[in-house]
Structure 1
Amino acid sequence: MIASRELKRCQEVVNCNLCQTPVSFFCRRCGVNLCDPCVPVHLRVKSEFGHDVVDIGSKDEDDSCSCDAHPNYSCSAYCKSCDVVICILCVSIRHKLHEIIELSSNIKLFKCFSREKNRLQSFKDELEPILNHQDKLLSSFSSIHQRRKNEVTLRGEKLHKQIEETVKKLHQVLDDLKKQYSAALQKQKKGLEEMIEKINEICKTATKLQRSNNIKVMKAFWPVLKGQETLVEIIQYTFPTFHEYEIDEKYTQTYFGYREKIPERKDLLLGKKMEYHIPSYKKNQEGFVIDSGFPSARLYDMTVTDDKKVWMGGQSRDLKLFDLQGHLHRTVTITCTGIYISMHNKQVVFSDNLDKAVKRVSDDDTVVTMFTTGDWRPFGITGSASGDLLICLRKDDQSKVVRYNSTGTVLQEIQYDSQCQTLYQFAWYITENTNGDIIVTDLKRTMAIAVDRLGVYRYSYGGKMRAFGVSKDIDVCSVATDSVGHVIITDFQGDKIHMLNQDGNFLRYIIPHGIELKFPRALCVLDNDKIIVGECMSGLAKIIQFMKKQA
């Protein structure tokens, strides 16, 4: 019924507004439908804005544009004095004594020219404060870097002669960073200056063309004006930081401090104020202990939820959810021992290497199989920034890392390096860093192995290492990363936590005062300044605030 009425309405004939006969023409200025005989009659009627009679089929093909000051009036002239397209009312009021050009056509071109020129001018106005910001950075570089060198030297004076080489090394690093950042800022400054100069030239040319009323040349120049790109983001460089820690003869590098390159970040330009500050950190001695209560006190893995609760897996077929005060919120029975767990889409997932499957715990505490892994047994598991799952797999004496989507489709396999040598003997625990690196601990090699997002080998850490003049094995176990790219590794036999930068270079040990660590295995990051470490043999999870911003 409704369709029938709609069809009938669509088939109705449009009639002339003057005589009610079928319409043939339309007056755009008056909004009146007209038949053939009524057109001359209508044209004789005086109108303040004149008449624009067109074929009824061209009724909606209006090339005119509305005046910005008087939206009910169409633009019909161009004011050279004000560089703006105006209507007839503007001519008689605001622009009465100005130089006016009457426009019979191409009004839209004039208006588009003005709009695009204003866009570029506005963009240039945004770039100029950024350029001033770069000048401030460049002018401060020498003094700030010298200040950092003095801090390093001051720390060196408090230590024994054995750290003098470390001071020289850090000096060189800061000098290299100074050269690197100075060159990058100079390059960025030059690029901004060139872009502003180019925009000025384009705007200048556009203004000349508008005033010349040379439509042909304006049309030829239009792609240049329209095609000039504007930036939506820009790299903001920050100063390097120097981290200080208490001096200890046994752990010189740990307490001396370390330097690291802060990753570059891109900021949206849209009205953002460019600022910089120099953060510093100090150690905090506070901590908190959670007793997981697993049989034989075995705690194997942990993962943190969005609301800062912690799932724990241990020597049982239960997963337990604790808050940070140690209160137990949920206990879920699963199909295997909870050795490898992670968060994915706000639900806890785990590797079941008995069923060779990846499973998740639903909101009603039921266990659901997400997908199977064929002949390969799954071990370490982690969610990635892209929403995929990265899983360590093993079959016989082979190991690899596979990226799956949520339905179990294989997206990527990582098994060999560029020389076709195997990367892993026993891929164990896994995490993804902020720069896309995939870091895996190898149970047999007792080391952490990092590849980039494409699976290309980057670095290894662990195995037989020399630290403070002593050669020792590092019993690499679990691995995690924080939001600035630090890599944190548990040393199971060494009772230590190692912290590396995102390039795999040792920074320091995390040694909490007042908290003893024994056989650390499970590990996850709570915030930028807190980690939670699980002792495998005691079943205790210890929260360590290892970094604290100073006011």
Structure 2
Amino acid sequence: MTELSDEQAAMQHYLVCGTEDCQENGQFYCNDCHRPLCEQCRDDHLKSPKTKTHEIVLYRYRKQQLPVEKCELHPTRNIDMLCKECQIPLCSKCSTREEHQGHKFDDLEEIYAEKYALQQTEFSKIQKYFLPTTEELKKNIDEDATEIKKVMESIRTSMKAEAKSLKNLVDEVTSENIEQTYTMEKSLLKMLNSQETTYNDYIAYLEKMSDAFQEYLSITHHKLLFSKTLKIQSIPETTKPVPPVFTAGQFNKHDVSKLLGKVNVPNSKPEKRKIRAMEAVTTHMKSTEKQLEQSKEKSDMKQTLSLSSSVTKVREYRVPGIDNVYHVSVGKSDRLWVTDYRGNLVQTDLQGNLLQKIQTSGGRGYHTATQDGDLIYTDQDKKVIYRITPDRKITEFIKTGDWTPLSVYSSRINGDILVGMDRDKEVKVTRYSKAGKEIQNIQWDKQGRGLYSTPHFITENINGDICTSDINKRAVEVVNKSGQHRFSYTGQGLVLCPYGICTDVLGHILVCDGYSNIVYLLDQDGGFLSFILSPQQGISYPCCVCPDDENNLYVGQYNTNTVTVYKYLQ
């Protein structure tokens, strides 16, 4: 097989057949020779007497090749077998040594392939069961915490209302008791006033009698003998008032607690959270694998890359009112939104007619079409995200405070809004609901390091992964929907200068490299698949990529105001 230079490898648009001088698509793989084969070479391989017994599979089902490790005793030979009795890896020459006489040996490559498959299965379990299930449980805990806060706040409100009710009753009873004391006081004072009047009248009577006696005493002696003897009335009797006595109430803190009630912890045991059984997931995974196995050919043709000749240009649009194409968003009703580096944002139809043009503060991946047919774009100067409705009405949607919004994307999964933004030396990705409510911030990895430097283009994959082009880090950074870092892609032997990024219906990640004039195609886990577009297709300075509902790929370039549409999926 002829060895390709780095430059030649960079220009390949598909996996090249491993047969010497054959440049066809290597969609098959020989597990014995460990090399890709095109369809014709596969047929020739199976016809050849030397290789007709070789195992040939679709490339995606290939066995992993055993890593090369030289034997210490025989440096010219590779370790490729395992002594079953000694459990020692060794080369074929070592197997003839006296200490291994009569022993049985296993093919180390078979063991490696089996172990690799097992590890891949375990990895798949983590991605498809353990992580999603744990994240779901964590979400349940957050929901329970929110519910607990609501319940406790409701209890506190009830306590305050009950205390206020009791206080009102205490005030009412106290007011009535005080009013009763005034009534009793008035009655007793009235009685005492009556007694005082009685004694005033008696004193007047005594003064009158005193005058009468003085008059009798002034009469001559012989007349006094014949005068009437006066009698003095006795002193009137009165009663002493009995003042009321206040009897204090008999109560304590316990009595008040009984009146007001208290918070009790139920005796029932906490219910265990339901953990989704892995068997169901495993069964689903096995069923899926079986279905894939039964439809390898169909699945392979649908999900793998086509030949370079099938990456065809569908049409072109020359966009009026702009100098170049920095970013493109495909909206509904066959409408395109395109911006240039000067911040001109224009809307056109597929005939290239200018429908709308506004001046913005500019940026790179700073606008996105929504499922509702609106366009959302950021204003870095004002730190505001605006919404344009189909009737061309522009409204203020989200204020980002002291954070500068750099890039924006409207989720095709749930309508959430993903925004890459920075502030001084801090950088983050924020998730907003479709109503504009902040619900998530993604900023740090598990070691507390910043995940981003300049996330100037952003998108979301079909599994919820958030993918960003980070120009300063020279990388595509991918986190899962919970914000945990999954992988970084830094290029395929070349320095990556990432610009526009998007994903397709199969979970592929497509990213523009403005330096190498290439559009990369990656799988969902960051594995390199191919250079889907390159200068061979006339690509120069690709800045942006965007798919439509028919799986066409819209590509914009820095050196022209033309949007080119390609078909790359069969």
Q: TM-score of the superposition, structure 1-length normalised?
A: 0.50
C-alpha distance 176-545 of structure 1, shift in aligned 2 (>3 A) = farther
Pairs within 5 Å for 1:2-13:
none
1:154 aligns to 2:64 (yes or no): no
Deviations 1:30-62 (A, max 9, x none): xxxxxxxxxxxxxxxxxxxxxxxxxxxxxxxxx
Letter of the 2:400 partner, please give it. T
Q: 1:438 and 2:466 equivalent?
A: yes
Q: Corresponding residue for 1:371?
A: 398
1:495, 1:519 within 8 Å by CA — same for their partners in 2? yes
The whole-number CA distance in structure 2 between the counterparts of 1:426 and 1:473 is 17
Deviation track 1:481-511 (CA, whole Å, cap 9, x = no partner) reads 0011100000001100000000011110013
Matches within 5 A, 1:227-306: 236-238=287-289, 277-280=298-301, 282-283=306-307, 284-287=310-313, 288-295=315-322, 297-306=323-332
- Cα-Cα RMSD: 4.0
C-alpha separation in 1, matches of 2:357 and 2:120: 55
- State whether residues 28 and 58 of structure 2, in contact with CA within 8 Å, keep that contact through their aligned partners in structure 1: no
CA contact (8 A) 2:403 2:423 kept: yes
Q: 1:172 to 1:475 in 2, by over 3 A?
A: same
Which 4+ residue blocks in structure 1 deviate beyond 4 angstroms? 147-153, 156-159, 166-170, 173-184, 233-236, 238-241, 274-277
With over 3 angstroms needed to count, the CA separation of the structure-2 counterparts of 1:419 and 1:541, relative to structure 1, is: same
Residue 415 of structure 1 aligns to which amino acid in structure 2?
Answer: Q
Candidates 327, 350, 357, aligned match of 1:332: 357
SS at match of 2:533: coil
1:310 partner letter: L
Counterparts in 2 of 1:399 and 1:150: CA distance versus 1, 3 Å: same
Amino acid at match of 1:172: K
Answer whether contact 2:478 2:488 (CA < 8 A) is retained.
yes
Distance in 1, Cα, partners of 2:443 & 2:30: 46
Q: What is the CA-CA distance between 1:158 and the residue it aligns to? A: 5.8
CA 181–456 in structure 1, closer or farther in 2 if over 3 Å, else same: closer
C-alpha deviations, 1:204-257, integer Å up to 9, x for none?
A: xxxxxxxxxxxxxxxxxxxxxxxxxxx9x966515798xxxxxxxxxxxxxxxx
Partners in 2 of 1:516 and 1:547 — Cα distance?
A: 19
Question: Per the alignment, do residues 492 and 158 of structure 1 end up closer, same or farther by CA in structure 2, a change over 3 Å counting?
Answer: farther
Bigger strand fraction: 1
Contact 2:492-2:528 at 8 Å conserved across structures? no
Provide the rounded CA distance (Å) in 2 between the counterparts of 1:427 and 1:338. 11
When residues 474 and 153 of structure 1 are mapped into structure 2, their CA distance, relative to the original with a 3 A threshold, is: closer
CA contact (8 A) 2:320 2:352 kept: no
Counterpart Cα distance in 2 of 1:478 and 1:358: 20
Q: Give the letter for the 1:319 counterpart.
A: L
Tell me which of 475, 478, 481 is aligned to 2:497: 475
Deviation, structure 1 residue 387: 1.6
Q: SS in structure 1 opposite 2:62?
A: helix
Correspondence for 1:342 among 368, 371, 386: 368
Letter in 2 for 1:336: S
In the alignment, the residues of structure 1 paired with residue 462 and residue 367 of structure 2 have an alpha-carbon distance, to the nearest angstrom, of 20
Cα distance change of structure 1 residues 417 and 318 upon mapping to structure 2, 3 Å threshold: same
Q: Which residue of 1 aligns with 2:63?
A: 172
Q: Distance in 1 between matches of 2:512 and 2:291?
A: 27
Listed as ranges, the gaps of 5+ residues in structure 1 are 1-146, 160-165, 188-230, 242-260, 263-273
Residues 479 and 488 in structure 1, CA contact (< 8 A), matched pair in contact too: yes
Superposed, 1:164-243 pairs within 5 Å as 171-173=62-64, 236-238=287-289
Matches of 1:459 and 1:179 in 2, distance apart? 21
User: Is 2:521 aligned against 1:499?
Assistant: yes
**Structure 2 matches for 1:382-393, cutoff 5 A?**
382-384=409-411, 385-393=413-421
Tell me which residue corresponds to 2:424. 396
Q: Is 1:425 matched with 2:471?
A: no
- Partner of 1:309 in structure 2? 335
2:290 & 2:318 partners in 1: Cα distance?
42
Contact 1:372–1:408 under 8 Å retained in 2:
no
Higher relative contact order (CA 8 A, sep 6+): 2
In the aligned structure 1, how far is the partner of 2:288 from the partner of 2:115? 11
Task: Determine the C-alpha separation between the residues in 1 that align with 2:120 and 2:496.
Answer: 38
In the TM superposition, what are the counterparts of 1:91-170 in structure 2 within 5 Å? 149=29, 153-155=36-38
* Deviation of 1:285 (Å): 4.2
Q: Deviations over 1:75-98 (max 9, x none)?
A: xxxxxxxxxxxxxxxxxxxxxxxx
- Looking at structure 2, the residues matched to 158 and 513 of structure 1 have their Cα atoms a distance apart, in angstroms, of 28
CA distance in 1: counterparts of 2:119 and 2:331, whole angstroms: 38
Question: Can you give the 5+ residue segments of structure 2 that lack an aligned partner in the other structure?
Answer: 1-26, 43-56, 66-112, 126-279
Which of the numbers 433, 443, 448 marks the counterpart of 2:476? 448
AA matched with 1:501: D
Amino acid corresponding to residue 510 of structure 1 in structure 2: I
Cα gap change, 1:476 to 1:435, in 2 (>3 Å): same
Return the offset for 1:316: 4.6
Does structure 2 retain, via aligned residues, the 8 Å contact 1:294–1:314?
no
Q: Deviations over 1:353-412 (max 9, x none)?
A: 011000011222121110110001101100122221000011112210000123432100
SS of structure 2 residue aligned to 1:473:
coil
Partner residue, 1:29 = none
Q: Deviations over 1:107-130 (max 9, x none)?
A: xxxxxxxxxxxxxxxxxxxxxxxx
CA distance in 2, matches of 1:405, 1:495: 36
* Cα separation, 2, equivalents of 1:528 and 1:486: 15
Structure 1 residues 237 and 406, CA gap change in structure 2 (3 angstroms): closer
State whether structure 2 residue 445 is matched by structure 1 residue 380.
no
1:460 to 485, 488, 491: 488
Cα pair 2:522 2:530 within 8 Å, conserved:
yes
**Count of paired positions:** 313
Superposition deviation, residue 300 in structure 1 = 1.4
Shift of 1:305: 1.7
Structure with more helix by fraction: 2
SS of 2:38's partner is: helix
Checking the alignment, whether the CA contact within 8 Å between 1:405 and 1:411 is kept in structure 2 is: yes
Larger Rg over CA atoms? 2
Q: 1:528: Cα distance to partner?
A: 6.4
C-alpha spacing 1:397/1:172, structure 2 compared with 1 (3 Å): same
Residue 292 of structure 1, CA deviation: 2.0
Q: What secondary structure sits across from 1:280 in the alignment?
A: helix
- Relative to structure 1, is the Cα distance of residues 298 and 279 closer, same or farther in structure 2, using a 3 angstrom cutoff? same
Deviation string, structure 1 residues 451-486 (Cα, Å, up to 9, x no partner)? 000000000012xx553xxxx311111110001110
Amino acid at match of 1:154: L
Query: Secondary structure in 2 aligned to 1:474?
Result: coil
Amino-acid identity (%):
22
- Answering whether residue 452 of structure 2 is matched by residue 415 of structure 1, we say no
Q: Partners in 2 of 1:156 and 1:419 — Cα distance?
A: 47
